[in-house]
Each structure stands twice: as structure tokens, then as C-alpha cells.
Chain A
């Protein structure tokens, strides 16, 4: 967390989100309720709760919003499709609106789509109220320029160069390491048994 964001999320720091016109899109009614309940705690009354991307698109053509929270997995047009459409829609100011995408599981084949759809941030579930608020504050303060590069239109995707900070957290890398360690241990045990 950057120093600025940490400061903004001090317990005593004051935020005012009551005037933010917010849209939540999720095909799961319970998912909608969870997100809307958390947002309400932050002072945000969800103005538009949409059960599908199609319903959201209809509203976005006419109504300006300040924040979009959208689930990635939905039938027909999914969250990625909705955000891609929005960024390319030419709708002003909606095409530039801060977008938080939520995802329970991102398929390997869709990782690049998650990165390239134009969302400001993708939150993986399960998420806590604190992480949702942290991301709302983050996207509110997001000062990255918007770029048009080929098919892409959205916030500059470059955060920083180099390896990810901190300890390794990628599931596939950790899994492979554990598997290799087990294989190595089994081979060593077998070699010890045969006296090699």
C-alpha cells in the first residue's frame, strides 16, 4: 500500500462517498446484496443494481455514474465484455469512470482479458469490507492517464517494472515448487532405501 493510500485509510481519516452515483452489476442477486451492503456501510447508496451487462449498458447510455463495481463471471456478456464496451463507447464521462472488477476465480485463458478489458482494478474474492474500501479509495485517487493502444482503451496498465514485491504468491509457481520438493524427497528416500 502506498503511503498516500495508507494515510487515506487511517481509522480516523474522513471520507465522503455519499454523493457517488454508483452502479453494481452482478448476475447473482445475493452477490448484488453483499456488494451493496458493504457500499452502504461506506455511505454509498447503490443507485443502479443491475442483474446483467445488458441492463447496465442501457442505463450507462443515458445516466452518468461515478463508480462501477462489476462481477467478472456473468452469462451472455460478462464483466470483461461490459467494461471493454464501456471504455470504447465514447460515452462521456462514463467511458472514463473508475471501474472495480470483482472475480471469484479467473480462468487461465482469461487472465489477459482481465488485464486488458480496461478496469482500474480487479479484486479477487473473497474480499473483506476493508479491501473493498481500500480499492475504492485507490481508484478515486488513481491518476493514471488513459491510453488507446490497438484494441485497448483504459488506464495505463504499467504500474512498475521488475518482479512483484514481497514473497511469491502465484498459485501455479507455489504448486510446482511443492510438487518438485515432494518428488525430490521421494527420490531421495528411494535412493536411501536401495543404498545408492
Chain B
């Protein structure tokens, strides 16, 4: 196969970053964290809205409906990770990631087990309600879901 190599030109970004002025990395990070912190209340609302979408998803009655609802669930779970991401809601993100993994593992011979959808929705809701310092309870929710994902995916 032919390989054509274009010598790397210095991007404008690489020149800009070293120009005079600017801020220290420490200040930039502190400002970014402060900016993100202002979005925390909206983040929690967004995550709650995405969880509500999961809660509303009933098992499908036809295969076509199943494909459509799984796409909705996948988008909602992605939305949970998007919205919760920078706000120290790691366990919420990991639970949503587990649901994405399960949906992604669906094949024609291994359909999605719709019994897990309410389990995920309720677990995410519970994690949103539990106080941040309820580490043992939060870990227990995570562990039981992780185990379920392990069992379901390890056999693939």
C-alpha cells in the first residue's frame, strides 16, 4: 500500500501557546474548575432528566421497537456520562458506562435483557439521592451492578 507522508507543519496552535502573555497552568485550571462548578446544579438536573428517560423505557413488544428503545437508552446513558462527567460523580458515570457496555454487547443471538433496565434506572436514581459521603452504600450499588455486567459480558 502506498504511504504518502506530509511533513508536519507547525500548527498555529503550537505557535500561539508559547507567545508572550497568557496565564499560569495553575491559574488556568483553577479558573476552569470554578467555571465548571457554576454548572453543577444544571448538571444534576440534566443527569436526573436522562435517568427519567431510562425510567420511562418499557420493554418493547416488537424487535423494531427494541432497536429504537435501545438507541434511546444508549443516548440517555451517554447523556448521563456527558452531564455528570466533570462533577465528581464517578460512580454515576461508571454505572451508565456499564449500561452502555450491555447495550453495545447486544447481537442477534444475544438480545438485551430488558429486566436490567429498571435496575439501572433505579440504581442511578439511588446514587443521585444518596449523600456524597455514603461511600459504603454507593460502593454496594456499584458492586452489584458491576457483578451483573461481568457475568453477562464475560461469557461473550
Contact = CB atoms under 8 A, between A and B. Distances in A.
Contact of B3 (A16, A19, A97, A147): A147
Contacts of A179: 150-151, 154-155
Nearest to B153: A175
Contact of A129 (B75, B86, B153): B86
Interface residues of B, number: 64
A150 to B, nearest CB: 6
Interface string B65-101: 0000000001101110111111001100100110011
Contacts of A113: none
Nearest to B85: A126
Contact of B5 (A104, A105, A137, A145): A145
Interface stretch (A25-33, A53-61, A160-168): A25-33
Instruction: Tell me what chain B mostly uses at the interface: helix, strand, loop, or mixed.
Output: helix
A64 B2 CA distance: 29
B22 A11 contact: no
Interface residues of A, number: 68
Contact of A140 (B13, B26, B46, B154): B13
Contacts of A109: 104
B29 A133 contact: yes
Contacts of B75: 73
Interface stretch (B37-45, B54-62, B114-122, B134-142): B37-45
Given A12-B24, A108-B104, A146-B6, A37 B32 contact: yes
Contacts of B97: 104-105
A137 B22 CA distance: 14
B23 interface: yes
Interface of A: 8-20, 28, 30-31, 33-34, 37-43, 64, 66-67, 71, 73, 93, 96-98, 104-105, 107-109, 125-130, 132-133, 137, 139-150, 171-172, 175-176, 178-180, 182
6 contacts: A30-B82, A41-B33, A107-B104, A149-B3, A175-B149, A179-B154
Interface of B: 1-9, 11-14, 16-26, 28-36, 38-39, 42-43, 46, 74-75, 77-79, 81-86, 89-90, 93, 96-97, 100-101, 104-105, 149-151, 153-155
A-B pairs, top 9 by smallest CB distance, nearest first, are A41-B32, A16-B22, A179-B154, A126-B85, A11-B26, A104-B81, A129-B32, A41-B31, A105-B100
